[in-house]
Structure 1
Amino acid sequence: MTWPGSRNYERKEIAWGYKREGFWYESYEFCMAEHTGTHLDAPSHFAEGMWSLEQIPLDHLIAPGVVVDMQDKVAKDPLAELTTDDLMAWLDKHGPLPDRAIILLRTGWASRYGNKTAYFGTSTNDTNNLIFPGMSVGAAQILTSYEQVSGRKVVGVGLDAPSIDYGSSKLFPTHVELNSHNIYILENVGDMSALPATGFELIVMPMKMRSGSGGPARIIAKILDGSSVAPHLQVPPASLLVLLLFIWGL
C-alpha cells in the first residue's frame, strides 16, 4: 500500500522460463513511490538540508528500540495522538530512553493493512478525510529535546499506521519537528505484538537510494532477553528475531 494518490507498486515481467541453451532465467522490472509499504522517511522528506536516505549513519539504523503502546486510546478514538502526557507516563513507568533510541508506537492499526478503506479511512485518493492515529507535535518535541536534557539521543520514530501525523493533519508538524532534528520516521511498520516495551534492538534496512527522501525498508527486531515473550519459539533468547514489515506489492 502507498499514500493515496501516489504511484502504486508495478512489476513488469522481462523474462520467465527456460532459455534455448537449457538454463532457467527469470527477471522483472518494478516501479513504485519511495514511500511504499513499510518504509523510512529520511529527514530531508520534511526538512530542507537534512540527511537524505543514503546519508543516515549506520549507528542510527542499528539501535535500541522501545515500544509505546497506545492501542487502548486508539480503540476509543481512531484519530488519537500520542500526547506529551502519554509519553511522560510511559517514561515514568519504564524509565529513561536508551541512547540512540528508536521509538515505536503500537497503535493496533497494523491489523487493517491491506484494506485501503479501513487503513486510510477512505477508498479514494482524497486526502482531506483520512482517519488514522499518530503522534502529537508536543510528544515529538520531547524526543527532539531529549539529548539536551539527558545526554541520550533519539534517532528514529515509527508506528504501525500510514503517517506519524494523524489523519486530520494538513501541515504535518510532527514530521517537520522530527525531520528538522535529523530524526527519521518509520511508517507502515508491521505487527509489534511479539515485542516487549524495552529490551530489544532494531535493525532498519532501507533501500539505499542516493538523494532519496525515503525508501522501502526491512525492519528486524532482535529481542535481547525476551524468551518469555514467545516461549513457543525454541531459540536462544538473544537470537529471537521478529520481522516488522509489510510486503511492498500490497
Structure 2
Amino acid sequence: MLTGTTAVGIWAGLQSLLQGASFTDLTHSFHPGQPHFPAFPNEVREALFDVEKGDGFTAHRYSIVGQWGTHVDPPSHFIRGGRTLDQIPVEEMILPLVILDITDRVSGNPDATPVLKDVQDWESRNGAIPEGAFVALRTGWSRRWPDPEAMANRDAEGLSHTPGWSQEVLAFLIEQRSVAAVGHEQTDTDPGLATSMQDFSLETYVLAQNRWQIELLANLDGLPEAGAVVVATWAKPLGGSGFPARVFAIS
C-alpha cells in the first residue's frame, strides 16, 4: 500500500515530467452513421431521460458492436482461448509510442503498405524499437473520417483501396522487437484489396501472437516518430471481445 508521502512523491514527479508536454487525442468521437465494418449494424442511441425535455438528468442507451469507432481488438476477437479485454493488464495500457509514417507513399498509392526498409530507416534514426512498444502506422487515412465512402475507397468493381500493414513488418515488430500492440488509422489491419476478398490474415496473425491492436486512430499527424508515450484505455466487460477505446499520446 502506498503511504501518503510516497503517493505525493509519485504525483509530484509526474507533474514535473508532464510540465510543458503536449497531449494529443487519438480518438474519433463515435456516432450513428460513422464508417464501420460493413457486416456490422449501425449504432442505435436512445435518450431514456433528457434534461432538455424536463427530466432530472440525461441518460442514453447505446446499442453498438464492440468494434465501433476507435476501438481495441483483444486476441479473443479472432482467436479461440485468446485474452479478453478484462484479461489485458493496465500495465499494458501506457506504452512507448513508435510511429511508422508512409503518408507520402499512400498519397500516391492508396494500396500502399509498409516495407521492412521503413523500419530499418526508423531504427537508423532512433535506435532499436523498444520492447513493449505500441507501433502506429501513420497513413493520413483518418483525414477521410467520418465519410464512409471515402474511408472504404471502393472502385467500380467494389474493391476497396486502403492502406494496411504487411506481413514482413508485423512479423519483425512482434518476433524481433517484441512490441506489445499495434494501431492504424484505417478500418482494418489488412489492406483493402485483401479485406475485399475476405482475407484478414494479418489481423489474425497479430491477435494469434497474444497482442492487441487499436483500429481507426485519429490525429497521428504532427506527432514525433519516437519519444512519445501512448495511453490506451477501454471499458472492462467480462469476456469482452472488443470495445470503443479512448487513446491519447503524450509528447
Q: Same fold (TM over 0.5)?
A: yes
Q: Does 1:157 align with 2:182?
A: yes
Instruction: Indicate how the Cα distance of structure 1 residues 193 and 48 shifts in structure 2: closer, same or farther if over 3 A, else same.
Output: same
1:1-250 to 2 correspondences below 5 Å? 1=34, 2-17=36-51, 24-122=56-154, 129-147=159-177, 153-169=178-194, 170-223=198-251
SS in 2 for 1:82: coil
Q: Provide structure 2 residue ranges, at least 5 long, that are not aligned to the other structure.
A: 1-33
Q: What CA RMSD, in Å, does the superposition of the two structures yield over aligned residues?
A: 2.0
Instruction: Indicate how the Cα distance of structure 1 residues 138 and 219 shifts in structure 2: closer, same or farther if over 3 A, else same.
Output: same
**1:167 CA displacement:** 0.6
Q: Provide structure 1 residue ranges, at least 5 long, that are not aligned to the other structure.
A: 148-152, 224-250
**1:113 CA displacement:** 0.7
Instruction: Indicate how the Cα distance of structure 1 residues 108 and 43 shifts in structure 2: closer, same or farther if over 3 A, else same.
Output: same
Higher share of residues assigned strand: 1
Rounded to whole Å, the distance in 1 between the matches of 2:139 and 2:53 is: 49
Match of 2:31 in 1: none
Rounded to whole Å, the distance in 2 between the matches of 1:121 and 1:213 is: 27
**1:122 CA displacement:** 4.1
* Higher RCO structure (Cα 8 Å, ≥6 apart): 2
**1:85 CA displacement:** 2.8
SS in 2 for 1:168: helix
Contact 1:81-1:166 at 8 Å conserved across structures = yes
Rounded to whole Å, the distance in 2 between the matches of 1:180 and 1:19 is: 49
Identity %: 28
**1:18 CA displacement:** 7.8
SS in 1 for 2:51: strand
**1:98 CA displacement:** 1.6
Runs of 4+ in 1 over 4 A off after TM superposition: none
Q: TM-score, normalised by structure 2?
A: 0.79
Higher share of residues assigned helix: 2
Matched AA of 1:29: R
**1:19 CA displacement:** 9.4
SS in 1 for 2:128: coil
Q: TM-score, normalised by structure 1?
A: 0.79
